[in-house]
Amino acid sequence: MCIKKILIICSALVLSGLQVHADGTWINHLRTDFLNNKSVIYAVNMRTFNAQDKNNNGIIDFDEGETSGTFINGINRLKELQSEGINALHLLPITPIGKMKALGTAGSLYSASGFNSLNPQLKDFSSQNTLEQQARQFINAAHERGIAIIVDIPACGSYDLFLQRPELFVKDSSGQPVIPADWTDVRLLDAGSEDKINNDLLKVHKEFIDYMINLGVDGIRADAAHTKPAKFWQELIAYSRKFDPQFLWLAESSDSWKDAVSDKAVFTSYDKLLRAGFDGFYGSWFNLKNWKTSKELQNQVNMTMSLNKTFGEAKSVIGSFTTHDELSPIIEKGPAYSKMIMWLNTTLPVNSYFVDGFDSGDKYIYFWANKKAPKTYTDDDIYFVHRGKLDIFNFSRKPGGENMDLKNEFARANSAKSVVNNIYYSKDSSFKFLKTNDESVFAYAISNQDSIIAVIGNMNFTGGINAKVKLPKISPQNAVIPMTMINIPKIEKGEITTDLMPGEIQVMMFNKNLK
């Protein structure tokens, strides 16, 4: 195929990622986009999102004039994310943070001390606007770039909040608030049971929804959604939809999770959450790092593709291969794993999901981690950090690595998502797993009457493989457009032969009508 034709098609891939809204006004269509797997979601900690670490020591030294992430300076990163194909931001909690029995020198984002105000740590004091006005500025600026906003609602509260509102918390036999699992800085909120929900907590959550919708937020990600009964969520979701039918609800829940976080906690399975009105959940894609055979990937895809039939209405998932709770993919299996995650998000029937810093290969290694701090803003003087994970406990540096190859691949993969979706949602589309000569090689094809996108990947991250893949509807005469690959495959009638590097993923598009 001629180079000119390839360049034209690649340009189309980039342009197809743009969103345009009529007369410049924002129209929330996040829920529809999500249910059609069009969302490319980027999770951020606003406290570090555009932090200004001038001396490059990894921590924000306010005494030296450095600035942590705020709603105002966060606006400056939106153009970058738009250029990379991001169309939705997941803001990790922006609620106020407790300072008692805390972890980290700034406190965990998930240790909420209230639900009807914003985290004062996110205020830019060089602006005369109120914190709420600054938040609206950020949200409006995102909307102007076609980026929707999803806000996290924490599953727990801080010890400070317990002292103020004990009726909101689960208590043990001695009347003390329950600590869920090993989250020692938070206390478990009491949403009640299916028989009787806690109306005090329901009221607090309704106030949170009112507040977020008033700010212009487009959806909510429910932290540890399984810790609350389905009836509780059902009431909240119905309440939000009165104001905005397009308001998205994403449950942090997985088909892999079976146990409650405490013997005092409820456990609501993912299917009950979806029946309660959630639009989607996490699935179990984060288990990819442990999968050895293509069958394991295939089982998860089949489960995902059966959701609509199972629930009788549209449901979807995020490509939760990497979240702020997961170890950096670079640490797990190197850059090849990151590239695999990018293209699986693009070509599988999921909404793409990434964490700030993933796109440039951040290992989330902080040299001061878990050492004593010279200054703290909580009652903890230790720089508490989860090694290899996005810092949510301190005023730390802006996330980001130095791998520009990954960053370029990230933008290309995201831009290709709309092309893949156009094939997925055409009338005669199909998705099929393909036969391969090795159980560690996965292969699948998305096709319609005009095009076939073939995806081939090596789940062996220590050794290369010569892979043979059966694809009956292709021949050497079909025009092929390489979307990502290291080695050029050999195309024969009904078969692709290719050398795969350890962990390599190859994506190619065949156009049936071009010779």
Per-residue model confidence (pLDDT) at position 154: 97
157-159-161-162 Cα dihedral, nearest 10 degrees: 100
- For 18-31, what is each residue's pLDDT tens digit? 444 556 789 999 99
- Residue numbers of the chain with a pLDDT score lower than 50: 1-20, 515
φ, ψ of residue 14 to 5 degrees: the values are -65, -45
Rg (CA), the chain: 23
> What is the chain's mean pLDDT, rounded?
93
Q: How far is CA 459 from the centre of its chain?
A: 22
Distance CA 47, CA 69 (A): 4
Per-residue model confidence (pLDDT) at position 18: 40
Domains located in the chain, CATH noted: 3-424 (3.20.20.80), 430-511 (2.60.40.1180)
- For 410-434, what is each residue's pLDDT tens digit? 999 999 999 999 999 888 899 999 9
- For 227-279, what is each residue's pLDDT tens digit? 999 999 999 999 999 999 999 999 999 999 999 999 999 999 999 999 999 99
Per-residue model confidence (pLDDT) at position 332: 97
The total number of residues written for the chain in this structure: 515
Under 8 Å between Cβ of 260 and 207:
no
Tokens of 344: 């699986």
Per-residue model confidence (pLDDT) at position 6: 38
Per-residue model confidence (pLDDT) at position 304: 96
- Give the DSSP H/E element, type plus range, for residue 212: helix 199-215
Per-residue model confidence (pLDDT) at position 513: 60
Per-residue model confidence (pLDDT) at position 17: 39
Three-state SS string over 458-492 comes to ECCCCCCEEEEEECCCCCCCCEEEEEECCCCCEEE
Distance CA 19, CA 16 (A): 8
Please tell me the pTM assigned to this model: 0.95
Instruction: Tell me which residue of 150, 44, 136 sits closest to 88, measured CA to CA.
Output: 150
Distance CA 352, CA 319 (A): 5
386: Cβ–Cβ under 8 A, 6 or more apart, which residues?
none
Per-residue model confidence (pLDDT) at position 511: 84
Per-residue model confidence (pLDDT) at position 22: 53
**In 10 A of CB 283, how many CB atoms?**
24
Distance CA 387, CA 410 (A): 24
- For 24-75, what is each residue's pLDDT tens digit? 789 999 999 999 999 999 999 999 999 999 999 999 999 999 999 999 999 9
